[in-house]
Amino acid sequence: MSSPQHATGMPAVRESALERDDFRENLYEWMQRTPWLLVSVAAHVFLFFALAAIPWEYLKDPPDQPVIIVAKRDDPLPIVDPPDERDPVTPVETPADPELMDSSIDETTEIVDSQLDLSDALEDLAPFDDTALVGLGPGFRSGGAKKYTKRVDGKAGRGTEAALRQGLDWLAAHQAPDGSWDADGFEAECGSIGSNICGGAGFSEHDVGVTGLALLAFLGAGSWSGQGEYADVIRRGLAWLGNRQDPDSGLIGEPTSREYLYDHAIATLAICEDYVFSHSPRMKRVARRAVDAILACRNPYGGWRYDSPAAGENDTSVTGWMAFALAAARDAGLEVDGDALAGTLSWLDEVTDSATGRVGYDSPQSSSARIQGVNDHFPREGAEAMTAVGLLCRIFLGQRPDRDPILGEHANLLLRALPRRVTDESGPDLYYWYYGTFAMFQMGAHRSTYWKRWEEALTPALLGGQRKDGDTRGSWDPDGPWGRIGGRVYSTALATMCLEVHYRYARLLGAR
């Protein structure tokens, strides 16, 4: 008898086998889809509980919320009222950027070429979301990007906008084709502003330092290497500095002068301030090595002077620049040895005269070379240069007037040595003006008299000294202490930064 068949003529046994195969395939496909089904179920369950947890009554009638103004770096900064001394600003805490925490550089990688070309690297900068820059004062880490971007007074000083623009224009016009500022050879770039030659050359061994100062002036005006009107100027200057870093020691530039550590510290400060925004992996490597070089030449339990490795001597002037470079590195998210910053405060305590509040140069009651025969007309201005350095360092390292009375003692000494315009080599001491201006502006958040009196003296002194003629228009003559060393680039960069005090840093004291 033949086997029963269906209409298809297929044997029943064969059909049964096909049904089993179909079941297995369906089961396999179902098992493949199972994870996604589970994910879908889990997502719906999570959404249910999330919706159930929302305080719908709160949303119907929300409480009043403070208005936070977000300032884009390319846009004009908002005009806001200065913080009320009786109602200090509460810092807005924002989490650290995970990209800033994550180094894309293999720490064990070695650079074979000692002259690493950073020009291309700076053309491809990591995007920076500046919508996170809200509020005043420290936000991520110990200040972060906000410290370098906020204008807190809604003005740039009385009639100083044009002077600031002219100073920046002069610096931009005298940048060398290789991206540097040449302390003694910047005259090669004369002709773009006027027909004459500027004059006022400095010493060639300080090209690294004056390049760093010029970059700081542009950074203080709101640009950085990836954004802003002067982005290309900054980018080329940073590439030049990076290409002059020794891959072994981390030092930027050659130790061709006794004061070369000044140059390294200023260059490191500029690199770190830009890195706050750029997050460039290669510049992170340059910044880290530069910071390591600073830490390597610090005297144990103290500060810095002229030697690398350290020779056991400290002075307040070099220590001030080093401390600011480390503070900027810390703000940029780089690891900084806390002992180095604590050592700076210990050094300042050691050289501060307890009777007067005056900060010494290399020992209590000592003065620096800037008042030894070069500041006869206004000796007080030179005598308080180290006091200004000490005051600003203390503020940036966390001290404040309401709990550290020494800050008020420092500031009172500065009020007795207000900026004055002089036309011979006895002044102006733009180094002192730079530190005093930023220190007194910070004090202004708590003691408005300090900043008001300082600004009233500073503004006419600065504006009266700015050149208005020919190719020198916008610059400052290199008169006074150290002008002959740094030259016209040095004096113009420092004076320009004094004009940027309303832009450069938020008032840290009012936000802490």
Q: What is the pLDDT of residues 461-492, one digit of tens each?
A: 999 999 999 899 999 999 888 888 999 999 99
pTM: 0.72
Q: What is the pLDDT of residues 128-142, one digit of tens each?
A: 332 222 222 222 223
Exposure class string for 312-347: b at 16+ Cβ within 10 A, else e: eebbbbbbbbbbbbbbbbbbbbbebeeebbebbbeb
Residue 288 sits in which domain range? 113-511
Percent of the chain with pLDDT over 90: 50
The stretch 257-268 carries a mean pLDDT of 94
- Interatomic CA distance for residues 25 and 14, integer angstroms: 17
- Interatomic CA distance for residues 295 and 474, integer angstroms: 37
Query: Residue 219's pLDDT is what?
Result: 95
Given a contact cutoff of 8 angstroms between Cβ atoms, the answer to whether 200 and 474 are in contact is: no
The stretch 200-213 carries a mean pLDDT of 96
Torsion of CA 125, 130, 132, 138, to 10 degrees: 90
Most confident of 157-166, 321-330, 357-366: 321-330
Q: Please indicate whether residue 182 or residue 372 has the higher confidence score (pLDDT).
A: 182
pLDDT score of 372 more than 80:
no
Encoded tokens for 381: 């201005």
Query: Residue 480's pLDDT is what?
Result: 82
Q: Which of the four pLDDT bands, split at 50, 70 and 90, describes residue 269?
A: very high
Q: Please indicate whether residue 121 or residue 83 has the higher confidence score (pLDDT).
A: 121
Query: Residue 196's pLDDT is what?
Result: 80
Q: Is 23 within a domain?
A: no
3-state secondary structure of 402: coil
Query: Residue 301's pLDDT is what?
Result: 81
Query: Residue 117's pLDDT is what?
Result: 53
Given a contact cutoff of 8 angstroms between Cβ atoms, the answer to whether 377 and 481 are in contact is: no
pLDDT score of 381 more than 70:
no
pLDDT score of 62 more than 60:
no
Residue 5: phi, psi to the nearest 5? -130, 155
Which residues, other chains included, contact 71 with Cβ-Cβ below 8 Å and sequence gap of 6+? 77, 78, 130, 133, 149, 150, 151
Q: Please indicate whether residue 62 or residue 270 has the higher confidence score (pLDDT).
A: 270
Query: Residue 428's pLDDT is what?
Result: 82
Q: Is 335 within a domain?
A: yes
DSSP 143: S
Query: Residue 423's pLDDT is what?
Result: 61
3-state secondary structure of 242: helix
Encoded tokens for 374: 């070069």
Neighbours of 123 (CB within 10 A): 13
Q: What is the pLDDT of residues 288-315, one digit of tens each?
A: 999 999 999 999 888 999 888 888 889 9
The stretch 251-273 carries a mean pLDDT of 94
Give ∠ CA 159-489-289 in degrees, rounded to 5: 115
4-8, 170-174, 413-417: least confidently modelled range? 4-8
Q: Is 70 within a domain?
A: no
Q: Is 154 within a domain?
A: yes
Q: Is 212 within a domain?
A: yes
Separation in Å, CA 100 to CA 45, 49, 95, 241, 341 = 35, 34, 11, 22, 22
Q: Please indicate whether residue 225 or residue 37 has the higher confidence score (pLDDT).
A: 225
Query: Residue 356's pLDDT is what?
Result: 92
pLDDT score of 37 more than 70:
no
For residue 72, give the amino acid letter. Answer: K
Percent of the chain with pLDDT over 70: 62
How many Å is the Cα radius of gyration of the chain? Answer: 30
Average pLDDT of the residues of the chain: 75
The stretch 198-208 carries a mean pLDDT of 94
What's the N-to-C CA distance of the chain in angstroms?
A: 101
DSSP 221: T
Q: Is 28 within a domain?
A: no
pLDDT score of 92 more than 60:
no
pLDDT score of 9 more than 80:
no
Segment (H or E) for 392: helix 385-396
Query: Residue 18's pLDDT is what?
Result: 43
Q: Is 224 within a domain?
A: yes
- Interatomic CA distance for residues 197 and 320, integer angstroms: 34
Q: What is the pLDDT of residues 425-441, one digit of tens each?
A: 566 889 999 999 999 99
Q: Please indicate whether residue 96 or residue 40 has the higher confidence score (pLDDT).
A: 40
Given a contact cutoff of 8 angstroms between Cβ atoms, the answer to whether 93 and 139 are in contact is: yes
Q: Please indicate whether residue 393 or residue 99 has the higher confidence score (pLDDT).
A: 393
Q: What is the pLDDT of residues 456-466, one digit of tens each?
A: 999 999 999 99
33-42, 84-93, 263-272, 361-370: least confidently modelled range? 84-93
- Interatomic CA distance for residues 436 and 388, integer angstroms: 5
The stretch 406-432 carries a mean pLDDT of 86
Which residues, other chains included, contact 125 with Cβ-Cβ below 8 Å and sequence gap of 6+? 225, 226, 278, 279, 280
Q: Is 223 within a domain?
A: yes
Query: Residue 15's pLDDT is what?
Result: 45
How many folded domains does the chain comprise? 1
- Checking 49-53 for CB contacts under 8 A at 24+ apart, the result is none
Q: In the chain, what are the helix, strand and coil shares in percent, each to the nearest 5?
A: 50, 0, 45
Q: Please indicate whether residue 192 or residue 369 has the higher confidence score (pLDDT).
A: 192
Q: What is the pLDDT of residues 145-179, one digit of tens each?
A: 445 444 434 455 557 889 999 999 999 999 999 99
Q: CATH no. for residue 434? A: 1.50.10.20
Q: Please indicate whether residue 400 or residue 251 has the higher confidence score (pLDDT).
A: 251
Query: Residue 130's pLDDT is what?
Result: 29
Residue count (the chain): 512
Query: Residue 34's pLDDT is what?
Result: 53
